[in-house]
Each structure stands twice: as structure tokens, then as C-alpha cells.
Amino acid sequence: MKRCSILITALIAVIMLFCYNESKAQLTPGVFGLNTEFGTGASELSMLYTLSNNFEVGLGVGYSSEGGKDGDKTRDSKSTIGINAYGAYFLSKGDVNPYLTLYVGYMIPPKEKSGENETTYNTIDVSFAFGGQVFVTKNFAVYIEAGLDYNIASSTEKIPNVPDYTKSTNIMSLFTSAVGASLYFH
């Protein structure tokens, strides 16, 4: 957690530093690009497309990994891959471009087996965030964002000779954060 707050603080300092440059680059309609993001829950790589001067959409692939200690027990690490779609609306243009974004993602964790028992997981994420983007050059921008995340997770356990047992969990995260960079191909 401390490393994440240091990273966010450093990125804010970099954004403030670049606020003084005269780039004032803006989104251009009909431009493709690449986006990479490092967030609270997962990291992602996505393709983006600018629909207008104020609206950007993207499709991405995300990756998450969990592991480590749970109290006195050591947990096995678990890696998850997912897909997502997002839309970002830029509120204004200037040195810092504030925006609102909505993400919808589907994470696909691996099945877990224990003897003959098998557990399958499904996770859907819906996130809303507010952020600020700064163009470092005409084609390259960095950003930082904070928001809310609603996670809908379900697991189905299959045990031989027993009906399937499905459990659902909904989690609301009040503060999520991410830093990222976008490369636009003009």
C-alpha cells in the first residue's frame, strides 16, 4: 500500500511538472492508440479509439495476481486474466484534461480442484472514475484517476453426487486508483 501511495504521489508531481509545458495537445477524432494502466486491482493493456474531441472508447485485456499470507497460512498465488471495455468523456481541454470514465470488465480466474471437487469462479467489474490526463508530447499522454468499483463475483462448486452449489458475492470499493499512459497514432 505504501509503494502505491508513493507511486501516485510521484505521478501527481510529474503531472504538475508537465502542466507548465505548452503542448496543449488534444484528442483528434478517428485516431487509434494503445493504453496501459496500472490500477488498484489489476493492470491492463488496451486498444483505444477517439470518437470525437471529447470521447474515447477502448477494449482491453487485464491481468491480476493474488497470493501471499492470509493470517498464519500461506496462500497459493492465483492469476486472473480478463477483458474489458471502457468509455471516457473529457470535460475540457487545456494543460490538464479532466475526464469521467466507465469501465465494464469480465475476469476469468482459473478453476480450482481439490480431489474430485471443482470450483469455478466468474467476476464482473463495473468501475466509475474521475481523472486527469496530461499530454507530454502530441502523441503521448499520462494520466491518474480515482473512483468507485462494484464487483459481482460468483463461484460454483461441483462435488460428485451432490447438486451444484453457487455462491454470489457483491463488493463495493469506495476508492480505487490507477495510473497510466496512452500513445495515440496520428
Residue 115 placed within a domain: yes
Q: What is the mean pLDDT of each run of 10 residues along the chain (186 residues)?
A: 61 55 68 93 92 95 76 68 95 88 89 77 90 92 94 81 77 88 92
Task: Answer yes or no: is 178 within a domain.
Answer: yes
Instruction: Assess if residue 73 is contained within a domain.
Output: no
Structural domains counted in the chain? 1
Q: Residue 3's pLDDT is what?
A: 63
Residue 97 lies in a domain: yes
The pLDDT score that the predictor gives to residue 20 is: 47
Taking CB atoms within 8 Å and a gap of at least 24, the contacts of 148-151 are 148/172, 148/173, 148/174, 148/175, 148/176, 149/40, 149/41, 149/125, 149/173, 149/176, 150/125, 150/126, 151/123, 151/124, 151/125
Asked whether residue 181 is assigned to any structural domain, the reply reads yes
Position 71 in a domain: no
- Residue 75 belongs to a domain: no
Which residues partner with 160 through β-bridges?
Answer: none
Give the per-residue pLDDT at 9: 65
- The reported pLDDT for the residue numbered 27 is 79
Expressed in percent and rounded to 5, the helix, strand and coil fractions of the chain are: 10, 70, 20
What is this structure's pTM? 0.76
Nine-digit cell at 75? Answer: 496462500
**What per-residue confidence (pLDDT) applies to 2?**
58
| pLDDT of amino acid 5 | 61
Instruction: Label residue 39 exposed, middle or buried (CB < 10 Å: 0-12, 13-18, 19+).
Output: buried
Residue 42 lies in a domain: yes
In which domain, by residue range, is 56 found?
A: 2-65+80-185
The answer to whether 107 touches 120, Cβ cutoff 8 Å, is no
CATH of the domain at 30: 2.40.160.20
